[in-house]
Structure 1
């Protein structure tokens, strides 16, 4: 990149417009660099070099240049990325602007915002954590919104402050749902997936406890079980001092047994099928021998039919 455009893009967090590039390059040179992948399109009419990271602050600056505004305020999901909230990756850039518009890569919200609801994050003007949390609680799916509210509470924002902020937006769409989720949000450290799991249990009417942790059931010695299942397990002792059994396929812990096993043996067939082994002698039949006989009979039928 030529020096004049490099200095200009450095002031704009690494982005520049097509018109700004024409001050240092001819249209053919600009098209060549775009076609070769040296310059990548960020938004309509705004580009960056291929080795420049596509950060949230760069996308906000690109939105400002694309709209032709003197400033742009990051909002909704883009503001959440700047604050480090637990949100799903969103390729769409969200900003506040004078006129609402919606495109595949840029959404401009015309929401009113007060100066007290703004702050600088990494040099980019954005809605503060409180306003961002309420905007997302109103607009995101319930599972994702609860994870965001849990993150905000865990960072020291009080539930009362969230409730007051939500009441200020009570006439907007999704305000009632946001108030409901604020009451369900958990301020204790919790992963986003745990928040989603908890809300799913609440919606289904199932009991849920954050203190519940998976406790592996005690293993058992396969040699002590009736018939020997052939599974590899270690011999452990249940709290009562007696060996405990474990159902490996289902991971269910069974009731510890006292004394010798009383499990009845598996029923066996009284009839014994036979098959020919490799030496031509008859050998006791089993599942494998019956399969061999079935294959040989099927082969003989096909040969006779042909």
Structure 2
């Protein structure tokens, strides 16, 4: 049985009769990964490699799929996103989204056995086409995971000049920050900036009297001693709750004003968040 995806014709040429292929497929020894391509397993990596056996020359993984391969994907889709040169003839393949691009992919890399757009290209492409609240977390995650550097993003977004969504991408690249530790922290930061407020500092460390970093806030304005926290599921743990209460008391005693926001605030009452922080900054 082949160890990697092969076309049906290649299996026959290698000595596998039609009956053997049919029997192995029926027994599960061989998986039909896409039309005319078979392999020993139907993992995402195998399906990805099988798909590329049917794509035109010059196709590369990109967008959501490329981001996932580079380690900063934030989409749950199982669709395979590929970039193909403009004018390419792409067969209709279930679960494959082909993005025709007049912009050549610079320096593609081999990841998981398939050609892939560089991390900076995947991040900027997504920053152009996703809603703003989904796009900034992708850029932050790209930098946080070390998939590329800030200057790589700046160079890539300049390469996209004139394309749809590049103005959004350019602005978001300027805001991108590797210090944001989760999607919601990135979104909370963007919400405040879009609301006309100064950009808060991510992962702000508050020192004790000796200047030693003691407590870390998700976001904050250091000079104003204002802290902003996103309360996710981890804050529901009993031991974590005790720690948070102790931290809250210490921060309050040292002049810090901290406000806590949840997913309901972020996604249902964003104006409340902006108004609350604006009031803090004015007071």
The TM-score with structure 1 as length reference comes to: 0.56
The answer to whether the Cα contact below 8 Å between 2:52 and 2:114 also exists between their aligned partners in 1 is no
Counterpart secondary structure, 1:125: strand
Instruction: Point out where structure 2 has 5 or more consecutive residues left out of the alignment.
Output: 202-218, 221-227, 232-242, 254-283
Instruction: Point out where structure 1 has 5 or more consecutive residues left out of the alignment.
Output: 219-235, 241-306
2-structure distance, mates of 1:39, 1:156: 35
What corresponds to 1:127 in structure 2?
A: 117
Instruction: Name the structure where strand makes up a greater proportion of residues.
Output: 2
1:111 maps onto 2:101 in alignment: yes
The TM-score with structure 2 as length reference comes to: 0.60
1:51-130 to structure 2, matched below 5 A, reads 53-55=43-45, 58-67=46-55, 69=56, 72-98=59-85, 99=88, 101=90, 103-112=93-102, 114=104, 116-130=106-120
Q: Output one character per residue of 1:1-40: Cα deviation in whole Å (capped at 9) or x when no partner.
A: 2xxxx2xxx4xxx211222233333334433333343322
The answer to whether the Cα contact below 8 Å between 1:96 and 1:109 also exists between their aligned partners in 2 is yes
- CA 1:27 to 1:62, structure 2 compared with 1: closer, same or farther past 3 Å? same
Alpha-carbon offset, residue 84 of structure 1? 0.8
1:184 to 172, 175, 180: 175
Count residues with an aligned counterpart: 209
What corresponds to 1:22 in structure 2?
A: 12
Counterpart secondary structure, 1:104: coil
2-structure distance, mates of 1:139, 1:42: 29
Superposition RMSD in Å: 3.5
Counterpart secondary structure, 2:122: helix
Higher Cα Rg: structure 1 or 2? Answer: 1
